[in-house]
Amino acid sequence: MITREQIIDEAKSWIGTPYNHMKCCKGGGCDCATFLCGVYTAVGAIEMPVVEYYPEDWHCHNSEPRYLSKLFEYCDRLDGPDARALTGDIMMIKIGWAKTHNHGAIIVQWPTIIHCLKLRGVVMDDAQSLLRGRPEPILVRWKGFA
């Protein structure tokens, strides 16, 4: 059984990995989507998904929720007034000029997250500072967690 702690330990081991569009190599490079794929694959939660080519700015020209649609193959959305993020859950937000939720982060313990940014690579951050002035995040939970 995969634990939330395993997800966080693996995510922390990616800190310092540089940003590299569509790559998925701990220490070598990843983006925010392939970071999630790499972490959940490394702990055995999922098999590495086939990630079809996507331009870095796909979210600026298209409102189709491509990232969320792929994520929902493995995760369930946390909805309702009682929905709260737990360790190992995923937060999706809109950043930049996005027309759809285009950025994913793993929740360590709210509001601490680990995510990959173009100019910083994989880092630990405060989600609340990232959310200022942005639409509400979408919270999702891997289907293997209760």
Listed range (29-33, 48-52, 88-92, 127-131) with the worst mean pLDDT: 48-52
Q: Where are the domains of the chain?
A: 4-142
Paired with 9 in beta bridges are none
Categorize the per-residue pLDDT at 60 as very low, low, confident or very high, splitting at 50, 70 and 90.
low
Assigned architecture for domain 4-142: Alpha-Beta Complex (3.90)
Categorize the per-residue pLDDT at 59 as very low, low, confident or very high, splitting at 50, 70 and 90.
low
Give me the mean pLDDT over the 85-107 stretch. 88
Give how far Cα 64 sits from Cα of 70, 92, 113, Å. 11, 14, 25
Categorize the per-residue pLDDT at 36 as very low, low, confident or very high, splitting at 50, 70 and 90.
very high
Helix, coil or strand: residue 91 = strand
Categorize the per-residue pLDDT at 130 as very low, low, confident or very high, splitting at 50, 70 and 90.
confident
Q: Does residue 63 surpass a pLDDT of 80? A: no
pLDDT digits (tens, 9 = 90+) for 109-118: 999 999 999 9
Q: How far apart are CA 2 and CA 26, in angstroms?
A: 20
Q: Does residue 43 surpass a pLDDT of 90? A: yes
Q: Is the pTM of this model over 0.75?
A: yes
Residue pair 42/36 in contact by the 8 Å Cβ criterion: no
Q: Does residue 10 surpass a pLDDT of 80? A: yes
